[in-house]
Chains A and B, each alone.
Chain A
Amino acid sequence: METVIQVQHLKKHFGDLQVLNDIDFEINKGEVVTIIGSSGSGKSTLLRCINLLEIPDGGNILYKGTDILSGKLPLTTYRSKVGMVFQSFNLFANKTVLENCMIGQIKVLKRSKEEAQKIAMQHLEEVGMQNFADASSTRLSGGQKQRVAIARALCMDPEVLLFDEPTSALDPEMVGDVLEVMQTLAKEGLTMAIVTHEMQFAKDVSDRVIFMDKGVIAEQGSPQKIFENPEQDRTKQFLSRYFDR
């Protein structure tokens, strides 16, 4: 199996707080990896480090074998291959839905306007937002925004898509729509790394689950192993809060 992202001995601290402490893991092609853990365990920071929105203090991140911190691969090229979907959507407020999906293609991938528009419409259709193409991005509901954000990321033909708590800012009735889109993408074989608090979703969709606690990977394995037979006490403790209600 081809490894897309390889994280080695990753370290990150904010001031005195060691947020990530010697993290090792990889994301393989076609794999869906979910990262769970309590707030403050370092999940989001880990994801943001992979996209270099946070710069690690130590360790390496390899993209298909190339160290992205070495400067051998231009940062913009790397980022265009690694898509990101944010908790707060971050749609460009000065652009329409369609323009949100086109700008990266035109500016970064140098696609023609016609081609970019065609691809954007395909992905908007995939997330069920084609009828909103000309709407201002500020006028949408949270769930609609997040689906557009997913389409925007897909337009770049990413090798891997990172999701940073994509449903945490949504009203409960919107969560289902977004998870449904993500589930479809997972089935289609898109490589994904997802930080989430949706345990049932993690259980259903993941090939591998990583449980993080206090800046380290406490346990990882198949969803069956993590959710049904966790080895670590802290994993059990964390999961009991979700499932023993």
Chain B
Amino acid sequence: MSIDFGRAYEIFIENWSLFSYGIQNTLLFAIVGTVVGLVLGLITGALRAIPEDPMDSLPVKILKKLAKWIVGFYVWFFRGTPMMVQALFFFYLLRPILGWTGFSAGLIIISVNTGAYMAEIIRGGIQSIDAGQSEAAKSLGMTTFQTMVSIIFPQAIKNTFPTIGNQLIVNIKDSCMLNAIQVTELYFQSSSVAGSNMKFAEVYFLEMVIYLALTTIATLILNAVERKINKTKTVTIKENCA
């Protein structure tokens, strides 16, 4: 049991183009998955958090109930099954109809999967906001949609930002499951390198170091963004002379 670090370094240099292609795809899948997942989560989380309004007409009431039911099923299914199995299942199920590649299927699966987690994060974020915020918006005559977009979402995203950012970290790592449908991300590329030179421990060591580097950089960026979001505008407050 030993790792030849010198050999590992050589392998890294020799196969840099393969690794860098894998890194690019891993980042692409992680970022697209997180951003599209967040948008899906905002929509589905909001649908789940919207309270029933006694002023709603009967069709609206039915639609709201139905939407909640569908979102509930979505979250239940995508959180309750492994992403790798979802990827395989939907890739083969829909390939005859859509004729899609593993690449496009993978982008959609990781987004939809992340959306299910985001739905719960956003729902929690929305429910943690004081009811007075939406009451004040209502009292000005704002619609539910305007209230959500201008008042509730910005606060919910701010409050849940650390958890949202965590999903990016998760996605950098979990995108490796998409190798099952031939997505050439970092794990897939590393495995082909390992297979070609039979230096398994060295290559997987390299792979771990790269993953750690990616997640560390992502964490640093997320922390910087979080600091910026939390910095409330400071203004010199003049005592008024009126």
Chain A residues proximal to chain B, CB less than 8 Å: 51-53, 55, 75-84, 86, 88-96, 103-104, 107-108, 125, 128-132, 134-136, 138-139, 149, 152-153, 156
Contact = CB atoms under 8 A, between A and B. Distances in A.
Q: Which 4 A-B pairs have the closest CB atoms?
A: A80-B141, A104-B140, A90-B132, A90-B136
A76 B143 contact: yes
B181 interface: no
Contact of B151 (A92, A130, A136): A92
A53 B240 CA distance: 34
A90 B133 CA distance: 6
A108 B141 contact: yes
Given A79-B138, A135-B237, 9 more contacts: A51-B139, A55-B55, A92-B137, A92-B151, A130-B240, A134-B233, A136-B235, A139-B237, A149-B136
Given A86-B135, A93-B133, A132-B237, A52 B141 contact: no
Contacts of A134: 233, 235
Contacts of A135: 233, 235, 237
Nearest to B152: A94
Interface of B: 54-55, 130, 132-133, 135-143, 146, 150-151, 154-155, 158, 232-235, 237-240, 242
Contacts of B132: 86, 88-90
A94 B135 contact: no
B140 A94 contact: no
6 contacts: A103-B140, A104-B141, A107-B150, A131-B238, A136-B235, A156-B140
Chain A contact residues: helix, strand, loop or mixed: mixed
Contacts of B155: 93-94
Nearest to A96: B233
Nearest to A97: B235
Contacts of A52: 55
A55 B240 CA distance: 41
A180 to B, nearest CB: 11
The residue among B135, B140, B237 with the most chain A CB atoms within 10 A of its own CB is B140
Contact of A79 (B140, B150, B154): B140
Nearest to A125: B242
Contact of B240 (A81, A128, A156): A128
Contact of A53 (B139, B151, B242): B139
A91 B136 contact: yes
Given A80-B140, A136-B232, A138-B232, A131 B240 contact: yes
Contacts of A125: 242
A90 B140 contact: no
Contacts of A108: 140-142, 146
Contacts of B130: 88, 90
B130 to A, nearest CB: 8
Contact of B140 (A55, A136, A152): A152
Contacts of B237: 131-132, 135, 139
